[in-house]
Structure 1
Protein backbone atom coordinates (compact mmCIF):
# COMPACT_ATOMS: atom_id res chain seq x y z
CA UNK A 1 0.00 0.00 0.00
CA UNK A 2 1.30 3.37 -0.99
CA UNK A 3 1.09 6.41 1.28
CA UNK A 4 0.37 9.70 -0.42
CA UNK A 5 2.46 12.53 1.02
CA UNK A 6 0.95 15.24 -1.00
CA UNK A 7 2.62 17.19 -3.76
CA UNK A 8 5.64 15.62 -5.29
CA UNK A 9 8.17 18.29 -4.35
CA UNK A 10 11.83 17.75 -4.91
CA UNK A 11 13.96 18.07 -1.77
CA UNK A 12 16.27 21.10 -1.90
CA UNK A 13 19.30 22.11 0.07
CA UNK A 14 18.97 25.36 2.00
CA UNK A 15 21.80 27.48 0.69
CA UNK A 16 21.32 30.19 3.28
CA UNK A 17 21.88 27.72 6.15
CA UNK A 18 24.95 26.31 4.36
CA UNK A 19 26.42 29.78 3.86
CA UNK A 20 25.82 30.57 7.54
CA UNK A 21 27.66 27.39 8.60
CA UNK A 22 30.63 28.16 6.35
CA UNK A 23 30.78 31.76 7.62
CA UNK A 24 30.67 30.51 11.22
CA UNK A 25 33.54 28.05 10.58
CA UNK A 26 35.57 30.77 8.88
CA UNK A 27 35.12 33.13 11.82
CA UNK A 28 35.96 30.37 14.31
CA UNK A 29 39.26 29.55 12.61
CA UNK A 30 40.18 33.21 12.23
CA UNK A 31 39.67 33.84 15.94
CA UNK A 32 41.22 30.57 17.13
CA UNK A 33 44.36 30.89 15.02
CA UNK A 34 47.31 32.63 16.62
CA UNK A 35 49.14 34.73 14.14
CA UNK A 36 52.91 34.28 14.19
CA UNK A 37 54.94 37.47 14.38
CA UNK A 38 58.14 37.81 12.40
CA UNK A 39 61.16 36.94 14.50
CA UNK A 40 62.75 40.34 13.85
CA UNK A 41 59.96 42.09 15.77
CA UNK A 42 59.97 39.75 18.76
CA UNK A 43 62.09 40.63 21.78
CA UNK A 44 64.88 38.14 22.35
CA UNK A 45 64.16 35.51 24.98
CA UNK A 46 67.85 35.18 25.87
CA UNK A 47 70.69 37.61 25.92
CA UNK A 48 73.58 36.70 23.66
CA UNK A 49 76.34 36.58 26.25
CA UNK A 50 79.94 35.61 25.83
CA UNK A 51 81.62 35.43 29.20
CA UNK A 52 84.49 37.90 29.60
CA UNK A 53 87.94 37.33 30.98
CA UNK A 54 88.64 39.44 34.03
CA UNK A 55 91.50 41.84 33.38
CA UNK A 56 91.60 43.19 36.93
CA UNK A 57 90.83 41.38 40.13
CA UNK A 58 89.08 43.78 42.47
CA UNK A 59 89.41 43.65 46.22
CA UNK A 60 86.14 43.50 48.14
CA UNK A 61 85.21 46.95 49.39
CA UNK A 62 82.70 45.83 52.01
CA UNK A 63 83.68 45.68 55.63
CA UNK A 64 82.19 42.85 57.59
CA UNK A 65 82.40 39.15 58.08
CA UNK A 66 84.62 37.19 55.74
CA UNK A 67 82.70 35.29 53.09
CA UNK A 68 82.20 31.54 53.19
CA UNK A 69 84.73 30.29 50.61
CA UNK A 70 83.77 27.27 48.47
CA UNK A 71 86.43 25.92 46.14
CA UNK A 72 85.94 23.72 43.09
CA UNK A 73 88.98 22.09 41.50
CA UNK A 74 89.38 20.76 37.97
CA UNK A 75 88.19 17.27 39.01
CA UNK A 76 84.99 18.62 40.57
CA UNK A 77 86.14 18.15 44.17
CA UNK A 78 84.63 20.60 46.65
CA UNK A 79 86.57 22.52 49.30
CA UNK A 80 85.08 24.50 52.14
CA UNK A 81 87.43 27.04 53.70
CA UNK A 82 90.39 25.06 52.34
CA UNK A 83 89.29 21.59 53.55
CA UNK A 84 87.99 18.96 51.11
CA UNK A 85 84.30 18.12 51.74
CA UNK A 86 81.57 16.02 50.14
CA UNK A 87 78.41 17.45 48.61
CA UNK A 88 76.35 16.36 51.63
CA UNK A 89 78.70 18.05 54.10
CA UNK A 90 78.69 21.24 51.99
CA UNK A 91 74.88 21.20 51.85
CA UNK A 92 74.66 20.76 55.62
CA UNK A 93 77.07 23.63 56.22
CA UNK A 94 75.17 25.89 53.82
CA UNK A 95 71.96 25.06 55.66
CA UNK A 96 73.59 26.00 58.98
CA UNK A 97 74.99 29.25 57.58
CA UNK A 98 71.62 30.20 56.06
CA UNK A 99 69.83 29.52 59.36
CA UNK A 100 72.35 31.63 61.28
CA UNK A 101 72.54 34.48 58.76
CA UNK A 102 70.41 34.47 55.58
CA UNK A 103 72.48 37.37 54.18
CA UNK A 104 75.78 35.49 54.55
CA UNK A 105 78.21 36.17 51.73
CA UNK A 106 79.49 33.22 49.72
CA UNK A 107 82.51 33.26 47.42
CA UNK A 108 83.15 30.52 44.87
CA UNK A 109 86.76 29.91 43.88
CA UNK A 110 86.65 27.81 40.73
CA UNK A 111 89.65 26.42 38.94
CA UNK A 112 89.86 27.66 35.36
CA UNK A 113 89.72 24.03 34.18
CA UNK A 114 86.70 23.16 36.35
CA UNK A 115 83.60 22.02 34.51
CA UNK A 116 80.89 24.64 34.35
CA UNK A 117 78.38 22.05 35.60
CA UNK A 118 80.31 21.69 38.87
CA UNK A 119 80.12 25.45 39.46
CA UNK A 120 76.40 25.43 38.63
CA UNK A 121 75.89 22.61 41.13
CA UNK A 122 77.42 24.75 43.90
CA UNK A 123 75.27 27.71 42.83
CA UNK A 124 72.17 25.48 42.98
CA UNK A 125 73.04 24.38 46.52
CA UNK A 126 73.42 28.02 47.60
CA UNK A 127 70.19 29.05 45.93
CA UNK A 128 68.33 26.10 47.48
CA UNK A 129 69.31 27.39 50.93
CA UNK A 130 68.33 30.96 49.92
CA UNK A 131 71.88 32.30 50.03
CA UNK A 132 71.85 34.98 47.35
CA UNK A 133 74.94 37.10 48.04
CA UNK A 134 77.29 35.00 45.89
CA UNK A 135 80.45 36.16 44.15
CA UNK A 136 82.99 34.49 41.91
CA UNK A 137 86.66 34.96 42.69
CA UNK A 138 88.81 35.95 39.73
CA UNK A 139 92.49 36.58 39.26
CA UNK A 140 93.99 39.36 37.21
CA UNK A 141 95.26 38.51 33.76
CA UNK A 142 98.63 40.23 34.38
Structure 2
Protein backbone atom coordinates (compact mmCIF):
# COMPACT_ATOMS: atom_id res chain seq x y z
CA UNK A 1 0.00 0.00 0.00
CA UNK A 2 2.85 2.25 0.38
CA UNK A 3 3.56 2.15 -3.36
CA UNK A 4 0.25 3.62 -4.32
CA UNK A 5 0.24 7.18 -5.35
CA UNK A 6 -2.45 9.41 -4.00
CA UNK A 7 -5.20 10.10 -6.48
CA UNK A 8 -5.24 13.47 -8.08
CA UNK A 9 -8.34 15.15 -9.30
CA UNK A 10 -8.58 15.52 -13.07
CA UNK A 11 -8.35 19.09 -14.13
CA UNK A 12 -9.73 18.43 -17.62
CA UNK A 13 -13.35 18.13 -18.56
CA UNK A 14 -14.48 15.22 -20.70
CA UNK A 15 -16.36 16.76 -23.65
CA UNK A 16 -16.95 13.58 -25.66
CA UNK A 17 -20.51 13.06 -24.33
CA UNK A 18 -21.38 16.67 -25.20
CA UNK A 19 -20.08 16.22 -28.74
CA UNK A 20 -22.14 13.04 -29.09
CA UNK A 21 -25.30 14.82 -27.96
CA UNK A 22 -24.59 17.74 -30.30
CA UNK A 23 -24.13 15.41 -33.29
CA UNK A 24 -27.35 13.54 -32.50
CA UNK A 25 -29.25 16.85 -32.31
CA UNK A 26 -27.67 18.01 -35.57
CA UNK A 27 -28.82 14.84 -37.33
CA UNK A 28 -32.33 15.23 -35.90
CA UNK A 29 -32.58 18.83 -37.11
CA UNK A 30 -31.19 17.94 -40.54
CA UNK A 31 -33.78 15.18 -40.95
CA UNK A 32 -36.80 17.11 -39.64
CA UNK A 33 -36.16 20.52 -41.27
CA UNK A 34 -37.26 19.51 -44.80
CA UNK A 35 -40.52 18.20 -43.32
CA UNK A 36 -41.62 21.68 -42.27
CA UNK A 37 -43.11 23.66 -45.11
CA UNK A 38 -42.77 27.44 -44.90
CA UNK A 39 -45.89 29.60 -44.87
CA UNK A 40 -46.74 29.62 -48.55
CA UNK A 41 -49.53 31.86 -49.78
CA UNK A 42 -51.22 30.57 -52.89
CA UNK A 43 -51.93 33.75 -54.83
CA UNK A 44 -54.31 33.81 -57.76
CA UNK A 45 -52.74 34.18 -61.13
CA UNK A 46 -53.95 36.61 -63.73
CA UNK A 47 -53.81 35.65 -67.36
CA UNK A 48 -54.54 37.90 -70.25
CA UNK A 49 -57.65 39.89 -69.60
CA UNK A 50 -60.53 39.59 -71.97
CA UNK A 51 -60.95 42.53 -74.27
CA UNK A 52 -63.69 44.82 -73.04
CA UNK A 53 -66.13 46.11 -75.59
CA UNK A 54 -66.18 49.58 -74.07
CA UNK A 55 -63.80 51.55 -71.93
CA UNK A 56 -64.55 51.05 -68.23
CA UNK A 57 -65.76 53.83 -66.01
CA UNK A 58 -63.15 54.85 -63.42
CA UNK A 59 -63.92 55.70 -59.83
CA UNK A 60 -61.01 57.79 -58.58
CA UNK A 61 -60.06 58.22 -54.91
CA UNK A 62 -57.32 60.81 -54.41
CA UNK A 63 -54.84 61.05 -51.52
CA UNK A 64 -57.21 63.22 -49.46
CA UNK A 65 -60.04 60.67 -49.85
CA UNK A 66 -62.13 62.71 -52.31
CA UNK A 67 -64.17 60.81 -54.88
CA UNK A 68 -64.62 61.47 -58.57
CA UNK A 69 -65.97 59.51 -61.52
CA UNK A 70 -64.17 59.55 -64.85
CA UNK A 71 -65.63 58.41 -68.17
CA UNK A 72 -63.87 58.91 -71.52
CA UNK A 73 -61.42 61.42 -70.07
CA UNK A 74 -63.89 63.69 -68.28
CA UNK A 75 -63.77 63.62 -64.49
CA UNK A 76 -66.80 64.51 -62.39
CA UNK A 77 -66.04 65.18 -58.70
CA UNK A 78 -68.62 63.96 -56.17
CA UNK A 79 -68.98 64.55 -52.46
CA UNK A 80 -69.96 61.24 -50.89
CA UNK A 81 -70.73 57.61 -51.69
CA UNK A 82 -74.40 58.23 -52.49
CA UNK A 83 -73.42 61.00 -54.92
CA UNK A 84 -70.80 58.72 -56.41
CA UNK A 85 -73.36 55.99 -57.07
CA UNK A 86 -75.86 58.40 -58.62
CA UNK A 87 -73.18 59.99 -60.84
CA UNK A 88 -72.08 56.51 -61.90
CA UNK A 89 -75.65 55.58 -62.82
CA UNK A 90 -75.91 58.75 -64.87
CA UNK A 91 -72.68 58.04 -66.76
CA UNK A 92 -73.45 54.37 -67.42
CA UNK A 93 -77.06 55.01 -68.31
CA UNK A 94 -78.15 52.48 -65.71
CA UNK A 95 -76.13 49.68 -67.35
CA UNK A 96 -75.09 47.51 -64.37
CA UNK A 97 -73.00 45.21 -66.61
CA UNK A 98 -70.59 47.94 -67.68
CA UNK A 99 -67.09 47.51 -66.27
CA UNK A 100 -66.17 49.79 -63.38
CA UNK A 101 -62.60 50.09 -62.09
CA UNK A 102 -61.66 51.67 -58.79
CA UNK A 103 -58.44 53.66 -58.87
CA UNK A 104 -57.24 54.63 -55.40
CA UNK A 105 -54.12 56.54 -54.44
CA UNK A 106 -51.66 54.26 -52.64
CA UNK A 107 -51.75 56.44 -49.53
CA UNK A 108 -55.53 56.32 -49.18
CA UNK A 109 -56.94 54.10 -46.43
CA UNK A 110 -57.89 50.60 -47.51
CA UNK A 111 -61.26 51.11 -45.81
CA UNK A 112 -62.16 53.89 -48.28
CA UNK A 113 -61.58 51.60 -51.27
CA UNK A 114 -63.58 48.78 -49.67
CA UNK A 115 -66.44 51.17 -48.85
CA UNK A 116 -66.66 52.20 -52.51
CA UNK A 117 -66.59 48.57 -53.61
CA UNK A 118 -69.27 47.60 -51.09
CA UNK A 119 -71.51 50.48 -52.14
CA UNK A 120 -71.24 49.62 -55.83
CA UNK A 121 -71.90 45.94 -55.17
CA UNK A 122 -75.00 46.85 -53.18
CA UNK A 123 -76.17 49.01 -56.09
CA UNK A 124 -75.92 45.97 -58.39
CA UNK A 125 -72.72 46.59 -60.34
CA UNK A 126 -71.40 43.16 -61.27
CA UNK A 127 -68.14 43.94 -63.05
CA UNK A 128 -65.91 45.69 -60.54
CA UNK A 129 -62.13 45.80 -60.59
CA UNK A 130 -59.15 47.52 -59.04
CA UNK A 131 -56.77 49.53 -61.19
CA UNK A 132 -53.10 48.98 -60.42
CA UNK A 133 -49.88 50.28 -61.88
CA UNK A 134 -47.60 47.59 -63.24
CA UNK A 135 -43.92 47.81 -62.47
CA UNK A 136 -41.68 48.05 -65.49
TM-score (normalizing by structure 2): 0.55
Task: Select the residue among 28, 48, 55 that pairs with 1:66.
Answer: 55
Q: Which runs of 5+ in 2 are unaligned?
A: 1-39
Q: Which has the higher contact order (CA 8 A, sep 6+)?
A: 1
1:51 CA displacement: 8.5
TM-score (norm 1): 0.53
User: Deviation at 1:126?
Assistant: 0.5
Aligned partner of 2:67 in structure 1 is 78
- Unaligned regions of 5+ residues in structure 1, if any? 1-47
Cα pair 2:69 2:88 within 8 Å, conserved: no
The equivalent residue for 1:116 is 110
SS at match of 2:103: strand
Question: What is the RMSD computed on CA atoms of the aligned residues?
Answer: 3.1
